Amino acid sequence: MNIEAIGVVGAGQMGNGIAHVMALAGYEVLLTDVSQQALDDAMEVMRRNMERQVSRDKIAQADMDDALARIGTTLTLTDLGRTDLIIEAATERETVKQAIFEDLMPALKPETILTSNTSSISITRLASRTDRPERFMGFHFMNPVPVMQLVELIRGIATDRATYDACLGVVERLGKTAASAEDFPGFIVNRILMPMINEAVYTLYEGVGNVKSIDQSMKLGANHPMGPLELADFIGLDTCLAIMNVLHDGLADTKYRPCPLLTKYVEAGWLGRKTGRGFYDYRGETPTPTR
Ligand code: CAA
């Protein structure tokens, strides 16, 4: 399968990162979202992130200019029908993703590969509701996409070898490394990472440490680049809670129960960096712990 044109659904944090790395690797990219503002914002974020890479000599100015020229945007989802590989990076809600695949299907070329950047929804279940479960798989990037080396590739029960190999080829062309994960809740990264973050929230909830001491402990004591609560804010507390619920429901083990304090922050709308407040308050000069 020759992949040259890539469709990206969703221009948020993950979608714009995916479009960014694909365009720099030489793919033609078509990015879609439901709002023109989201598309404009995404182009601006990509330009800023590429400028940062130019200023640090990671890429040349010409690479940036060529990459930005390879990214097209559209408000019409079905325009993506002419691409060879589609990566859905919309809101992490199964009904939303399912509706996107349903709308896309009539417009797709028979050979187009459909993938989802979902961090936790069953690939097999998403695939089963499309017309091409054998050409469907999970293509899971880590945040921030331009920096993180790993991509999880998740095969559903029906995914065929050619589809897997084609996606692996894309990961290699990006200069990233693929980890092959089976289709079980949370795959590999979130199965391990989210219980750690959830445990950090329990540590806070039970008063063992405050936000600062918990984050410092893991940064200085375990060499993590970010503390678990800072990382939770970076990922989004709603996303963390949704993934814990998927682990809890899907694996039916109480060890995955989400911490009530995490639920409370989400109920408050304190979702982390994206809303200006989570375990830290980002509205001032420097982030200040909220506990
Ligand atoms: N685009 C391009 N470059 C970026 C970038 C972006 N969005 N964000 C950061 N960078 C680059 C910087 O330019 C810098 O480059 P150099 O090394 O060339 O100088 C480098 O990344 C480091 O950035 P900073 O110096 O600004 O900041 P830092 O040293 O604190 O690193 C970080 C930032 C890379 C985010 C680091 O803190 C980190 O690795 N944190 C952990 C991230 C993580 O765990 N991500 C996974 C989340 S889980 C997930 O994504 C899966 C899921 O389903 C929830």
Ligand 1: residue whose CA is nearest its atom 20:
147
Distance 144 CA to ligand 1 centre (A): 5
CB of 34 within 8 A of CB of 77?
no
Distance 277 CA to ligand 1 centre (A): 20
Q: Answer yes or no: pTM beyond 0.85.
A: yes
Task: Tell me what pLDDT residue 92 has.
Answer: 87
What gap in Å lies between CA 239 and CA 74, rounded to an integer?
A: 26
Query: Annotated catalytic, 88?
Result: no
Distance 106 CA to ligand 1 centre (A): 38
11 marked among binding-site residues: yes
**From first to last of its 291 residues, what are the pLDDT tens digits of the chain?**
799 999 999 999 999 999 999 999 999 999 999 999 999 999 999 999 999 999 999 999 999 999 999 999 999 999 999 999 999 999 988 999 999 999 999 999 999 999 999 998 999 999 999 999 999 999 999 999 999 999 999 999 999 999 999 999 999 999 999 999 999 999 999 999 999 999 999 999 999 999 999 999 999 999 999 999 999 999 999 999 999 999 999 999 999 999 999 999 999 999 999 999 999 999 999 999 999
274 marked among binding-site residues: yes
The set of protein residues with a Cβ atom below 6 angstroms from ligand 1 is 49, 52-53, 56, 58, 119, 142-144, 146-148, 189-190, 193, 225-226, 231, 235, 239
The CATH homologous superfamily to which domain 5-182 belongs is NAD(P)-binding Rossmann-like Domain (3.40.50.720)
193-280 — its CATH code? 1.10.1040.10
Q: Where are the beta strands (DSSP E) in 142-202?
A: 150-155, 177-182
Residue 272 CB contacts under 8 Å (≥ 6 apart), including other chains: 232, 233, 234, 235, 236, 237, 278, 279
Helix (H, G, I), strand (E, B) or coil at 177: strand
Ligand 1: residue whose CA is nearest its atom 9:
147
Annotated domain spans of the chain:
5-182, 193-280
Task: Tell me what pLDDT residue 1 has.
Answer: 79
